[in-house]
Amino acid sequence: MADVANDHRICFIGDSMTQGTSDPTCLGWPGRVSAAAWATGYAVTAHNLGIRGDTSQGVAARWQAESALRLQAECHKYLVFSFGANDMTPQGDGLRVAVAQSVEFFTRIVSAAQARHPTVVLGPFPVGEAAQDARILDLCPLYAERAQALGVPYLPVARFLTDSALWRVDVVASDGCHPGAAGYQLVADRVLAWPAWWFSNPTIS
Amino acid sequence: MADVANDHRICFIGDSMTQGTSDPTCLGWPGRVSAAAWATGYAVTAHNLGIRGDTSQGVAARWQAESALRLQAECHKYLVFSFGANDMTPQGDGLRVAVAQSVEFFTRIVSAAQARHPTVVLGPFPVGEAAQDARILDLCPLYAERAQALGVPYLPVARFLTDSALWRVDVVASDGCHPGAAGYQLVADRVLAWPAWWFSNPTIS
């Protein structure tokens, strides 16, 4: 029977970088950190709700319904978000989601999330296109500031990844935008080393 | 850039057995068959939309919205379903979903699905409880009959798994209801050996 004390259900909500696109192991970083949690003694149920191309606006429209269906049972419940990269994609004369709107969606999503369940955020990922990556790097501190104001742990990843030779080489060897297994492992390792991550220390049983 | 010819996106929609509950590798059988597709040359984007405890009624209520959001891009699109085990859970004087209703939801879901995208179905899984498993085994031929009438490939799994010593031992060693890695691998192997499975033969490139 289910052991409620060790029943941890996580929704990972974001874009292709959360989905794990182009990872031939089909784990992405969410699968990797979830398997690591099992190895540390946590019985984790991981829901990967990453959707390729999704923006902050897209996440805002769906995260509540999709996560609520998956976090109904009596259990420990967690929300992990990462989005924003696709907001910075050119569209018409501007961007898919303008910077001010993107920050507004971020604030709306993260404040509602943390009111519901323990929540953490990974910043937007780089996408391997110089101009867009520059806009993503500019967006990061705005997201970080809002996260801090809300008291929600925020892990920046964009600068770390654009500076990483491993990441860059892996993206080029993959589809030019997303990494393969090695790049996703790099992100997973960063999450696992993050003091805010819930499952880094062994369970006390 | 994305290669539309080799861009295969699959939604796996079902209950805990699709979600991969209690699999410490966090792959379940959907992750395993998707990684196998990569190894055969298919660039697969796998969406695991399994929800623990979900019934045919629950799947009917959500599959269209959840899969439509994930299958918007120009790409090859696929739907894989497996549900019904939780319909056979006792509730009040009856079941969570009565047999006739369950078959009706099955028909409604599968006929709408195949009108949209290539669709296959795995039958409901056993849950490690004798009386419920007997009801699940009785439900299987009714689902199979409907699938055949609709021309949708249907892979029965319940009898195969209740007859499997590997499965039964793995369930007992796990949480008493779901298997661990070995049991999910057993299911993945069965899917990969299924002539209806889309990704068993190497891509021609």
The complex scores an ipTM of: 0.97
Contact between chains at A47 and B48 (C-beta distance less than 8 A) = yes
Taking the model in full, what pTM does it have?
0.97
**Mean predicted lDDT score pLDDT of chain B:** 96
Q: Provide the residue-wise pLDDT of chain A in tens; the chain has 205 residues.
A: 468 899 999 999 999 999 999 999 999 999 999 999 999 999 999 999 999 999 999 999 999 999 999 999 999 999 999 999 999 999 999 999 999 999 999 999 999 999 999 999 999 999 999 999 999 999 999 999 999 999 999 999 999 999 999 999 999 999 999 999 999 999 999 999 999 999 987 765 5
Task: From chain B, pick out residues whose CB is under 8 angstroms from the CB of A19.
Answer: 45, 47
Contact between chains at B44 and A26 (C-beta distance less than 8 A) = yes
Task: From chain A, pick out residues whose CB is under 8 angstroms from the CB of B1.
Answer: 175-177
Contact between chains at A62 and B70 (C-beta distance less than 8 A) = no
Task: From chain A, pick out residues whose CB is under 8 angstroms from the CB of B48.
Answer: 47-48
Question: Which tokens is A128 given?
Answer: 């391997």
Task: From chain A, pick out residues whose CB is under 8 angstroms from the CB of B8.
Answer: none
Task: From chain B, pick out residues whose CB is under 8 angstroms from the CB of A176.
Answer: 1
Contact between chains at B39 and A46 (C-beta distance less than 8 A) = no
Nearest to B7 by CA among B78, B63, B64, B113: B78
Picking from A15, A26, A59 by the largest number of B CB atoms within 10 A of its own CB, the best residue to mutate is A26
User: Any bridge partners for residue B39, and if so which?
Assistant: none
Interatomic CA distance for residues A78 and A116, integer angstroms: 9
At residue A107, φ and ψ (nearest 5 deg) are -60, -45
Task: From chain B, pick out residues whose CB is under 8 angstroms from the CB of A25.
Answer: 35, 38
Question: Which tokens is B166 given?
Answer: 């590997």
Cα A18 to Cα A31, B113, B184, B205: the distances in Å are 10, 26, 23, 28
How many CB atoms sit inside 10 A of residue A118's CB? Answer: 16
Amino acid at B107: T
Which long-range contacts does B24-28 make (Cβ < 8 Å, 24+ apart)?
B24/A35, B24/A38, B24/A39, B24/B180, B24/B181, B25/A35, B25/A38, B25/B181, B25/B184, B26/A27, B26/A31, B26/A34, B26/A35, B26/A38, B26/A44, B26/A46, B27/A26, B27/A27, B27/A31, B27/B181, B27/B184, B28/B184
Question: Which tokens is A166 given?
Answer: 């491993």
pLDDT of the residue at B1: 47
In three-state secondary structure terms, B1 is coil
Counted across chains A and B, CB pairs separated by less than 8 A come out at 73
Q: Does A148 touch chain B (CB under 8 A)?
A: no
User: Which of A24, A31, A45 has the CB atom closest to B19's CB atom?
Assistant: A45
Q: Provide the residue-wise pLDDT of chain B in tens; the chain has 205 residues.
A: 468 899 999 999 999 999 999 999 999 999 999 999 999 999 999 999 999 999 999 999 999 999 999 999 999 999 999 999 999 999 999 999 999 999 999 999 999 999 999 999 999 999 999 999 999 999 999 999 999 999 999 999 999 999 999 999 999 999 999 999 999 999 999 999 999 999 987 765 5
Residues 2-41 of B with CB under 8 A from A: 2-3, 19, 21-22, 24-27, 31, 34-35, 38-39
Q: Does B73 touch chain A (CB under 8 A)?
A: yes
Contact between chains at B24 and A2 (C-beta distance less than 8 A) = no
